[in-house]
Amino acid sequence: MKFSTEIRDHIAIVTSHVEKLDALHAPELKGEFVQLAKEGVLYIILDMSKSRYCDSSGLSAVLIGNRLCRDSEGSFVLAGLQPSVEKLVQISQLDKVLNIVPTASEAYDYMVMMITEAEIGSDKKGTE
């Protein structure tokens, strides 16, 4: 199994089990994101703590996940970046585009907070 997905409280936690997220594995990750979007999942966390390498194909898959969530007014969070992957993300300036947190559990807490804030915001609009 290269990727696994757990859905908890409407949040999909996709875990990469590949050491190298490259052209060999990126299409499967893209497919996972597309499938989640088709199922109506708005919130995705990608846990990359087990991936020690990522190339442009891997970054492309990450950006597709981010775009699918954004287009459906959801949110995408990247978690568990290994130093070499984090450096690539910074070099490509994707750290300015993506929500990045240190661990999957922190990503989950961050996502719950974002969802709660969005719900509070929409409740206030309804009462004004």
Report the alpha-carbon distance of residue 81 to residue 86 in Å, rounded.
5
Which residues share a beta bridge with 100? 78
DSSP code for 18: -
The model's pLDDT over 44-58, given as tens digits with 9 standing for 90+, comes to 999 999 999 999 999
Task: Say whether 1 sits in a helix, a strand or coil.
Answer: coil
pTM for the full model? 0.93
Fold (topology level) of 3-121: Transcription Regulator spoIIAA (3.30.750)
> Going residue by residue through the chain (128 aa), what tens digit of pLDDT does each one get?
899 999 999 999 999 999 999 999 999 999 999 999 999 999 999 999 999 999 999 999 999 999 999 999 999 999 999 999 999 999 999 999 999 999 999 999 999 999 998 888 877 665 55
The model's pLDDT over 3-19, given as tens digits with 9 standing for 90+, comes to 999 999 999 999 999 99
Query: 97: buried, middle or exposed (CB in 10 Å: 19+, 13-18, 0-12)?
Result: middle
Report the alpha-carbon distance of residue 117 to residue 51 in Å, rounded.
31
